[in-house]
Amino acid sequence: MRRPLDLRHVISPGLRDLIELANTHDFDRVQQQVRDLRGCTSPVNLHGFTITTDQTTKEVVRSYRSEDEPSGRLLTTCGNRRSSRCPACSRVYAADTYHLIKAGLSGGKNVAETVRDHPRAFVTLTAPSFGPVHNRPTT
């Protein structure tokens, strides 16, 4: 068993936490969680558990507890679409949107190739109340 590190000489609490985390036996899992964030700037910390059971036998097929993670939580991406909030997640959303629209226009991704022959229109509709609600005087 390893002796606990004496980190009293490290002034920054954040740096102290990082050093302790890097010296845990399952730091590989921490690295994997960070890699899975793919640059997300506002990750969501999930706490809790899940149990998956077989419907017929009621046998537990899979279980997960966030408290078993090295940090006691599971990190996941925020998924925000606005680049001002999270540039990395908004890029993923933009790429997904492009592929969905492309598939809708030319087929693919479970859309029949025959859609290429259909007429296309890109219509943007605005509700009548949009102007009065969003263009109110500010003075």
104-113 residues labelled b (16+ CB within 10 A) or e (exposed) = eeeeeeeeee
26-79 pLDDT, tens digit per residue, is 888 888 988 999 999 999 999 999 999 999 999 999 999 999 988 889 999 998
117-138 pLDDT, tens digit per residue, is 777 777 777 766 655 555 666 6
